[in-house]
Structure 1
Amino acid sequence: MTALFAKVLDDAPLLDLFRQTRQRSLSMIEGLEPEDMAVQSMEDASPTKWHLAHTSWFFEEFVLRPCDPAYSSPDERFAFLFNSYYVQAGPRYTRAQRGLVTRPTICDVLAYRAQVDEAVERLVERGAAPADIVELGCHHEMQHQELMLTDLLHVLSHNPLRPAYRKPEPLEVRDTGDLSWLVFEGGILPVGHGEETFAYDCETPRHDQLIRPFEIANRCVTNREWIAFIEDGGYAHAPLWLMDGFATVQREGWRAPAYWWQEDGQWMQFSLRGAQPVDPDAPVSHVSYYEADAYARWAGARLPSEFEWEIASGRVEDGNFHETGRLRPSAAQPGNTMLQMWGDVWEWTASAFLPYPGFQTAEGAVGEYNGKFMVNQFVLRGGSCFTPAAQMRRTYRNFFYPHHRWQMTGLRLARDA
C-alpha cells in the first residue's frame, strides 16, 4: 500500500471506476477535430492528444509493466513522449514542445488507449492488479480531464473565429443576492484526510490546527462585484497589490480576468460555449492568486486559509461539477447558508502548498506525484464546473502558482471575527 491514500475499492467497483473514467475522457473529445487536439497554446497547457496518451502511459508504467510480464507496449518510445515529470521513470520530451509531436496521430493514441484498457481490465478481473495504483490512476485521469478542458479553452480562445466546444446556451437569469457573512468560532480542530477512502498523500496526515475565530462569505465573489473593482481602478492601484503581483499586472497588461474583453461598452467572456456576455451574478473566474488577493484587500477583507475553508465547507454536496454539463460557473440562489462551496470555481486560499506535519512521500516514481511541488504555490479548494464530481472531497488540495489564471479559479472572502 502506498502512502497516497488509505483504502482501495474491491475489484468489481474498481473495474467500474476504471471503465467509467476512461470512457469519460473519450466522451470529452466528441466533436473535436484532430487539429483541435494537436495544438499547444502555451507551456503550461498541453494538447488534448497528449493528455489522452499520458493518462494511458501512467497505467502502462505503474500497473502493466510491473505486474504483467506478457504486456508489450505498441511503441517503447511512448515512454519518452508521454512521461510528464516522473524523473525516476526515465527521460522525458520537452514540455514546451508537446504541440510539435504530430506523430503518433490521434488514431494511434486511441489505439494505444484501447490496448492499455484491455490489459488493465484483464489484470483487475484476475485480481492481479495493484488496486491502489489503479485507483490512483483513475483519479490522476480525472485531474487530466479537467486539464483537457482548461487547456482546450486556452487553445480555442486564440482562434479569431472564437469556435465553441459545445453549443451555446442562454445564460441563466438569476439575482444571487447580497453577500452575507457566516461566523465560525475556531479552536484547535482536526483537519486533513483521516477517513478510509481515497485521498492524495498531500491531504494527509490528519492533524490538529489552531484556527482563530473568523467570518467567511456565504458565496463566491461575482462578476458584477469584480466589474466594480475594475471601474474603481483596482488594476492600476499599486497599494492593493503584492509587489510581484503588480509587476505581473504591468508586464502582462492585465486589466480584467482572462478571456474578458469589451465590445460596444459591454463586457464579454470567451467560454467553452463560445463568446457570450459576462453573467453579472455568476462567480468571477480565471483570476490569479495575485488578483484575488488584491480584490480581497480592496473589499476590506482577505482570502480564507485552506483550513478555514475546510472547516466551513461541511460535507461534500451536489454542486456545479462537470456532470451538470454547464461548463461555466452559475449564479447562486440567494440565501444565508454556505453557497457554491462545491463546483463552479476553484477558490484561492491564502495558504501556501506545504506538507502537513508528518507528511511522507511514497517510494519510487509514484512518490513524485505531489511532494516535490510543495514550494511557491497556493492551495485552492472546492472544485469547479470542469471537475468530475468523483474527484472531490473536503480535504482535496489543488495548487497553482500565483500568476496562473488559465484554470477555472475564483475566490471567496474571509475576515477575522
Structure 2
Amino acid sequence: MIPGFAETLEGATSPGEVAALPVPESYRAAVLLKDEQTMFDGVPLRDRKPADSLHVREVPTPEPGPGEALIAVMASAVNYNTVWSALFSPVPTFAMLERYARTGGPAARHDLPYHVVGSDLAGVVLRTGPGVRRWRPGDRVVAHCLSVELEDAAGHDDSMLDPEQRIWGYETNFGGLAELALVKANQLMPKAAHLTWAEAAAPGLVNSTVYRQLVSHHGAGMKLGDNVLIWGAAGGLGSYAVQYALASGATPICVVSSESKAEVCRRMGAEAIIDREAEGYRFWIDEHTQNPREWRRLGSRIRELTGGEDVDIVFEHPGQETFGASVYVARRGGTVVTCASTSGYQHQFDNRYLWMSVKRILGSHFANYHEAWQANRLILRGRVHPTLSTVYTLANVGQAVDDLHHNRHKGKVGVLCLSPTEDRGVTDPAMRDRHLTAINRFR
C-alpha cells in the first residue's frame, strides 16, 4: 500500500480529491490458499487452528465492474463464517468460488488461487464502476454482505430468495478483511458519524441478521411483551438480539457461558440471565443421546425468570448442541427462529413437542437490502449500538478468528485494516459523547 494512503484519504474533502488519488496496484489481505484446502483433513474441528490457514499477503487490486465499488477498508470485523472458511468446514470455500465463477461474466474473476475473506467493512469509496449513481469517491460507508444478481424474478419480492444470492467474503472473493475490498454498490450504506472505523464495521453482518430474524415480517415478528430466549446473548449475534428485544418492549432471557458475559448483558439492561456453565446444563448424555431432563430443567428455570411464562421466541444459532432444548422450551404456538449452526448442522429434536404444541421452526438467513438499511438506520440514530470488545491489527487476524473459534470473545471482534489506530473515523463527537457509555459496554 502507498505510504500515507489512509491519512491522505481521510483528509480529502471532495470526491475529486479522492478520485485523483492513485489506486494501489496491490493491497494486503487475509487470504486462504487453494492449494492448502486439504491441510486439515482428518483433524477434528476443535483442533484446527485458523492462524495456520489464514495468511496476510499482497494481492492484485481488482477493477470495479458495472454496478461495483472499490472500497478503501479502514476497519473490518470477524464473523463465524470466517471461522468456517479458515477451518475449511463444512466445505472449503473454493468450491463456492468455482461455482460462482461458472455463472460467467464478472463472476469469473472470483475463482482465484486465493480467497480474500471477510464479510464486514467500514471505509471510504475509492472508485465506482459504470452505472453507479448513488455513491461517489470519498463517501464514508459500511457494507452489508448480501451479494445478489437480481436477474431472476424470484429475488424481486425478497432478494434473499434470489437463486444467485451469496454472502460476500464467504461465497464470493475480495472480502473485507483487507486494505481494499470489492463490493456491489447495492451493498453500501452510510457510516455512522459518531463511531470509529472499527466500531462502525462491527454491526454489519450481525445487526442485519438479527433485524431480519427477530423484527422483520420475514422473521419471527417480535412484538411488545414477548419473551425471547437468546442463546449466546453476549456474543456477536446475541448482543444485538438483546438490544432489539429490549428496544421492542420484549423480555430477553439471556443464556451465557460465564459471569463476565452475564455482567455484559446486565449492562445492556437485561435482567433474566442463565449462566449455562454455572448452572451445569448438559443437553447431551453422549454424542448420540440427548437429555430431556435438562430440557425440562431449562424450561423450569425460564418460568422462574418470567413469572411462570414460557418463551414466545427462541433465538437459535448454536444448532446441534441446543436445538432439542429450543424446540422443547418454546411455548405452545411459539417460534424457534434459526440463522446458523455453530455447534453442528445435524439438528435433533423430539417432534412431539413441535407438532402437538403447534410450534414452528423458521429459517432466517442474513437480510435483504431494505432490512440491512433499516438495521443500519438504527445504528445511525444511536438506537442500537456496536458491541465491539476487542480490536486486532490485520497482521493478527488469525488470532482474532481463533477467539471466535474457541468462544473466548464477547460481542464483536474488530480488525484494523488501513486505519492506523482505533480512535480514527469520528466526525460527530457531540453525538458520540451522548452515547459513549453504551458504545463502550463491551470494551
TM-score scaled to structure 2, two decimals? 0.25
Considering fraction of residues, name the structure with more strand. Answer: 2
TM-score scaled to structure 1, two decimals? 0.26
Considering fraction of residues, name the structure with more helix. Answer: 1
